[in-house]
Structure 1
Amino acid sequence: MQEQREPPFAPGLTARVELTVTDADTAQAVGSGDVPVLGTPRVVALAEAATVAATATRMPPGATTVGTRVELAHRAATPVGRTVVAQARLAEVDGRRLLFEVAVTDGDETVADGRVERALVDRQRFVERAARAS
């Protein structure tokens, strides 16, 4: 009889990451606008970092996750010097597909919210396949 392995991830996993906004994080600096506030690409990166952190302690050896889809509403501007917090919660697991609900806040204000989808992959095979494609 084959031993049943427990899946590495289950809905409910959470993580949070923080960022104090610097000039390097602004829309001006990242090329997504001309205003000195937190740029949307940095908000997306922060939300993804929270999803990565949520799975980090349970990652199977040789595996990683890669981002496959982001749906994010950037709702409020955040000036330089403020600290934002990204929180991710694993909402759904469908085989290798992991769906997270994410929220980025500045105190009580919602800066952004949405969903991030990631796929569980074999790290070495993924890197090799990417190298062949280039």
Structure 2
Amino acid sequence: MNLAPGLRSQLLIVVKSEDTAREVGSGDVPVLATPRLLAIAEMATVQALRPHLAPGETSVGNRAELQHLAPSPIGTHVEFTTELTESDGKRLVFTFEARDRRRVVGRGTIERVVVDRAAFIERATR
């Protein structure tokens, strides 16, 4: 795989009750949970890569760094943007930013590795 940096993706969500720290167990407040922030950012990277993978390939996350900068209560629209910033063979690094209508609520990096899906599952279940 030889993807050039600059590949982008956007994903828009509305924070729901099931996205909150209270519901996922990462806190007791009704705002977007940090683990959900990361999971949604990862979904955006998967979305960006999907059309570029060969049949039988998938990508797996292997490193993430994030800053959760502001709370997003239930009903908040949050837009996630990702951009491929590094491509080293099967190793891909994305930056992401999550914004509500007023400010950046989170940012970070996500590293993914392209793998053969069947071989990965076989190794995982041994």
**Do the two structures share a fold, i.e. TM-score over 0.5?**
yes
Letter in 2 for 1:64: T
Gaps of at least 5 residues in structure 1 are 1-6
Q: Considering only CA atoms, is the larger Rg found in Structure 1 or Structure 2?
A: 1
For 2:95 and 2:19, locate their aligned partners in 1 and report how far apart those are by CA, in whole Å. 23
Superposition deviation, residue 106 in structure 1: 0.4
Matched AA of 1:128 = E
Task: State the Cα distance separating 1:67 from its structure 2 match.
Answer: 0.2
One of 55, 58, 61 as aligned partner of 2:49: 55
Gaps of 5+ in 2: none
What residue in structure 2 maps to residue 11 of structure 1? 5
Residue type of the alignment partner of 2:59: T
Deviation at 1:42, TM superposition (A): 0.6
Structure 2 partner of 1:86:
80
Q: In structure 2, what residue type is equivalent to 1:71? A: E
Q: Is the aligned partner of 1:128 residue 2:122?
A: yes
Contact 2:14 / 2:78 at 8 angstroms: preserved in 1? Answer: yes
Alignment map for 1:1-134 (pairs within 5 Å): 7-132=1-126
Q: Contact between 1:9 and 1:55, CA under 8 Å: does it hold in 2?
A: no
Report runs of 4+ in structure 1 exceeding 6 Å deviation. none
SS in 2 for 1:57: helix
Query: Cα deviation per residue 1:30-88 (whole Å; 9 max; x = unaligned)?
Result: 00001110100110001101110111111111101000001000000000001101111
> Cα RMSD (Å) of the superposition?
0.9
Q: TM-score, normalised by structure 1?
A: 0.91
Structure 1 residue 8: deviation in Å? 4.5
Alpha-carbon deviation of 1:10?
Answer: 1.7
User: Percent same amino acid among aligned pairs?
Assistant: 48
Contact 1:73 1:112 in 2 (8 A): yes
The count of corresponding residues between Structure 1 and Structure 2 is: 126
Could you say if the C-alpha distance between residues 60 and 8 of structure 1 is closer, same or farther in structure 2, counting changes exceeding 3 Å? farther
